[in-house]
């Protein structure tokens, strides 16, 4: 009873706060603030025609580094907990259709992921979606068998390597141009071509491999804690 | 009066409120996680909505959108960049939640959050 | 793009999505709902292609590609769960 | 995109998402709740595309369709019969 009243009270306070905002809302029709500056100068500053990637990797690259650290700590906690408390009861063998799909389809999905990751400055995509699609390809391999995939042993090394690459690419900018993650260290080239926009494709690849190895590590830990058959 | 603009805002706020309601009232711990995911989706929608400008296009400046007219042709790229990281963080946090929930339910023999006395203070 | 054609095609797709959505809500068992989800994502992929056509920007097709591949993967994971493969 | 068409699509998808989110809280079977949550994520991806957020739409589709669904399915499989 008290619980229900409390829940109602919380929701009512939230609704009242939200309602008090409504009269002040009006539709945005023009860019302002940081978004205006990014839209005006993004292309010539970074050479990336995808402004979202320019913001993630170049302008707010330090924040992305911190975000990757948060992701790393969450994934590490999951793996640590699952290695401390194994959960028994392994999976059954896959059916014919799933087993054969899992043999054919991972390669095209990985190709798609590499496309999204390396073309992050030219088309929609980038490190985060590319990394999650790579993790999906790993997941498909895992779904098609009843044991942990053999490649999962190199996941921690891959994770460390990509994280270090990200940091070193950032420090390169600090050494040469005095600015962390400045992407002009190797010149921005001709915008619109694959080899352009400085280090943005490299940093995107590092982010993608990092995200992919975190999520693949989570799935491998899930499968290992269930025990192999 | 732009119907699309305000409909998305209403949908996002509704998802946040329904998600909070679920987190506060449901009994099964896994269903609380699902309600949390719904509220997460609502927050992401609201953040992207805050950078949406009607009648404009995606912030990718290829041949369809000349770079000189970018300021008057594209939506705000900043909230989109923030939401991109927020989504990935959200699913990692959901994975942590599920693992802790599974361990707690196995240790205590129940998935009912009212019986998890050790979590109370 | 012809306006009438746009309205009719999107209306037909929305009708298909709505019927599958009803099955998703009232479906009796879990597998019923999995099939309904598969239907919804298949029709939504067509919707995304049409949105790319109306916006006249070809790069929006990338979203449709990812959506089709990964929705298939999601349904495969569901099928594997029902099979006993996620334990 | 035609504004009235986009508005109609947003009303349709938003109504579906809100109805589905309420159903998630009340449906008896947990598996169905997980499937319906996946459907909410995929509809949100279409809304992101309508709001011209292409990168966000791709990320939400890959996360909501596969990763989040699978994590919750795994949790349900591990919990077994304890409802």
- The residue segments making up the domain with residue C58 are 3-83
**For A95-105, how does the pLDDT look when each residue is reduced to its tens digit (9 = 90+)?**
888 888 888 88
pLDDT interval class at D81 (50, 70, 90)? low
What confidence score (pLDDT) does residue A89 get? 67
Number of domains present in the structure of chain C: 1
Task: Give the pLDDT band (50/70/90) at residue C55.
Answer: confident
**pLDDT tens-place string over residues B1-16:** 688 888 888 899 889 9
> Using a CB-CB distance cutoff of 8 angstroms, which residues of chain A are in contact with residue D55?
50, 52-53, 124-126, 129
CA A181 to chain D, closest CA, distance in angstroms equals 22
Least confident of B9-23, B25-39, B58-72, C38-52: B58-72
Q: 3-state DSSP: chain B helix, strand, coil percent, rounded to 5?
A: 75, 5, 20
pLDDT in the model for residue A43:
80
Nearest chain B CA: its distance from D9 CA (Å)? 9
Whether residue A191 contacts residue A45, with contact meaning beta carbons closer than 8 Å, is answered with no
Q: Residue A229: what pLDDT?
A: 47
Contact A35 B2 (CB under 8 A): no
Q: What does the pLDDT read at residue A51?
A: 85
Chain B positions in Cβ-Cβ contact with residue D11 (cut-off 8 Å) = 3, 7
Assigned architecture for domain B3-119: Orthogonal Bundle (1.10)
With cut-offs at 50, 70 and 90, classify the pLDDT of residue B120.
low
Q: With an 8 Å Cβ cutoff, are D52 and B52 in contact?
A: yes
SS3 labels along chain A: CHHHHHHHHHHHHHHHHHHHHHHHCCCCCCCCHHHHHHHHHHHHHHCCCEHHHHHHHHHCHHHHHHHHHHHHHHHHHHHHHHHHCCCCCCCCCCCHHHHHHHHHCHHHHHHHHHHHHHCCCCCCCCHHHHHHHHHHHHHHHHHCCCCCCHHHHHHHHHHHHHHHHHHHHHHHHHHHHCCCCCCCCCCCECCCCCCECCCHHHHHHHHHHHHHHHHHHHHHHHHHHHCCC
Looking at every residue in chain B, the average pLDDT score rounds to: 84
The answer to whether A28 contacts B20, with C-beta atoms less than 8 Å apart, is no
**The pLDDT of residue C1:** 56
Domain ranges of chain B: 3-119
**DSSP category for residue D77:** H
- A107, B15, B23 from D25: Cα distances, Å: 38, 12, 9
Q: How high is the ipTM of this complex?
A: 0.90
**C48 vs D contacts (CB less than 8 Å):** 46, 49
β-strand partners of A196: A189
Q: Is D82 on the interface with C (CB under 8 A)?
A: no
Cβ of B28 and D30 within 8 Å?
A: yes
pLDDT at B96 over 70: yes
Find chains touching chain B: ≥3 CB pairs under 8 Å. A, C, D
| Chains contacting A (3 or more CB pairs within 8 Å) | B, C, D
Q: Which residues pair with residue A174 across a beta bridge? A: none
Whether chain B has a CB inside 8 Å of the CB on D58: the answer is no
| pLDDT at res. D83 | 54
Flag residues of chain A having pLDDT under 50: 229
Q: Do C63 and A95 touch (CB under 8 A)?
A: no
Could you read off the pLDDT of A181-205 as tens digits, one per residue?
Answer: 777 777 777 777 777 777 888 888 8
List the subunits that have 3+ CB pairs under 8 angstroms with D. Answer: A, B, C
Q: Is D69 strand, coil or helix?
A: helix
> Looking at residues D57-75, what average pLDDT do you find?
88
- Tell me whether B57 touches chain C (CB under 8 Å): yes
């Amino acid at each position: 009873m008290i619980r229900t009243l409390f829940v109602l009270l919380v929701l009512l306070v939230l609704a009242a706060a939200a309602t008090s905002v409504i009269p002040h809302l009006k539709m945005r029709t023009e860019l302002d603030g940081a978004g205006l500056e990014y839209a005006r100068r993004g292309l010539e500053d970074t050479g990336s025609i995808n402004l979202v990637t320019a913001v993630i990797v170049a302008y707010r690259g330090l924040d992305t580094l911190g975000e990757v650290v948060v992701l790393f700590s969450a994934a590490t906690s999951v793996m640590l907990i699952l290695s401390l408390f194994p959960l028994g009861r392994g999976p059954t063998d896959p059916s014919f259709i799933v087993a054969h799909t899992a043999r054919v389809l991972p390669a095209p999905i990985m190709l798609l992921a590499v496309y999204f990751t390396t073309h992050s400055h030219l088309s929609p995509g980038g490190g985060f979606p590319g990394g999650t699609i790579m993790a999906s390809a790993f997941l498909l391999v895992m779904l098609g068998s009843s044991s942990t995939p053999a490649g999962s042993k190199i996941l921690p090394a891959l994770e460390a390597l990509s994280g270090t690459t990200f940091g070193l690419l950032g420090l390169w900018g600090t050494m040469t141009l005095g600015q962390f993650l400045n992407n002009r260290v190797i010149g921005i080239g001709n915008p619109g071509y694959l080899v352009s926009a400085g280090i943005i494709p490299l940093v995107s690849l590092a982010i993608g491999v990092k995200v992919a190895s975190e999520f693949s590590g989570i799935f491998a830990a899930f499968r290992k804690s269930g025990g192999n058959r | 009066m732009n119907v699309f603009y305000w409909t998305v805002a209403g949908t996002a706020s509704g998802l946040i409120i329904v998600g909070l309601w679920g987190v506060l009232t449901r009994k099964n711990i896994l269903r609380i996680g699902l309600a949390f995911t719904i509220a997460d989706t609502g927050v992401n929608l609201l953040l992207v909505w805050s950078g949406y400008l009607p009648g404009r296009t995606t912030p990718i400046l290829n041949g369809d959108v000349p770079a000189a007219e970018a300021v008057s042709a594209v939506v705000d790229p900043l909230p989109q960049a923030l939401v991109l990281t927020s989504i990935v963080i959200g699913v990692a946090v959901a994975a942590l939640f599920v693992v802790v929930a599974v361990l707690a339910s196995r240790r205590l023999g129940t998935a009912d959050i009212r019986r998890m006395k050790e979590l109370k203070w | 793009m012809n306006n009438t054609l746009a309205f009719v095609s999107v209306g037909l797709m929305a009708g298909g999505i709505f019927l599958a959505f009803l099955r998703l809500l009232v479906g009796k068992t879990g597998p019923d709902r999995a099939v309904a989800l598969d239907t919804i994502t298949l029709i939504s992929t067509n919707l995304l292609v049409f949105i790319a056509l109306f916006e006249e920007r070809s790069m929006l097709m990338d979203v449709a590609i990812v959506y089709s591949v990964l929705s298939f993967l999601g349904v495969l994971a569901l099928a594997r769960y029902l099979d006993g493969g996620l334990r | 995109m035609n504004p009235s068409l986009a508005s109609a699509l947003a009303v349709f998808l938003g109504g579906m998402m809100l109805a589905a989110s309420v159903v998630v809280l009340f449906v008896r079977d947990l598996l169905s709740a997980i499937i319906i949550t996946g459907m909410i994520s995929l509809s949100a991806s279409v809304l992101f595309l309508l709001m011209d957020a292409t990168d966000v739409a791709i990320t939400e589709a890959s996360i909501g369709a596969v990763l989040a669904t699978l994590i919750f399915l795994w949790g349900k499989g591990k919990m077994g019969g304890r409802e």
